[in-house]
Amino acid sequence: MKLRKQRAMLLLCCLMMGVSGCAAVIAAGVGAGVGFGTYKYLEGNLQRDYIGPPDKLWQATLTAMVDLQVASEVQERDYFGGLVKGIMHDGTKITIKMKRLTDNSTEVGVRVGVFGDMKRSEVIHNKIAENFKKT
């Protein structure tokens, strides 16, 4: 009987997280030569950790914007991270925020549109990762 109540509570919690829109999606991947850590989708922002030199990641991000034909509006960078803002061909705004975690790892957050678009954010991350492997 106690096990049945625990299962019911667990199911209820999972349903509440799914309905609230704040459930994080966790995954992991590894690239050749560079590492890609876990990623999560939270409040419209898809965040992924990249293992490797931040300078190369910055360049991979800018190249991804060109590859995806995103018109860049803002490109700001300092030692602690960076910000790239752009507009897609359909007028949708993109924001990419980079935050240095260590000398060899960086968190990158991608937000597409006002409320976020996980699929499009994932396409952008995949293009960044593809370019990051090449550098």
**Structural domains in the chain?**
26-134 (3.30.160.110)
Q: What is the pLDDT of residue 94?
A: 97
**Percent of the chain scored above 70 by pLDDT?**
73
Residue 59 burial (C-beta neighbours within 10 Å; 0-12, 13-18, 19+): middle
The two structure tokens encoding residue 81: 């991270």
H or E, element range at 97: strand 93-102
pLDDT band at 39 (very low <50, low <70, confident <90, very high): confident
pLDDT tens digit sequence for 10-32: 444 444 444 444 433 333 333 33
56, 113 Cβ separation under 8 angstroms: no
Torsion on CA atoms 130, 79, 41, 49, rounded to nearest 10: 50
Residue 135 corresponds to which amino acid?
Answer: T
Model pLDDT for residues 51-93, shown as the tens digit of each residue: 999 999 999 999 999 999 999 999 999 999 999 999 999 999 9
User: Which has more confidence, 44 or 7?
Assistant: 44
Which contacts (CB < 8 Å, 24+ apart) does range 55-59 have?
A: 56/132, 56/135, 57/98, 57/106, 57/108, 57/128, 57/132, 58/82, 58/98, 59/131, 59/135
Cβ(50)–Cβ(129) under 8 Å? Answer: yes
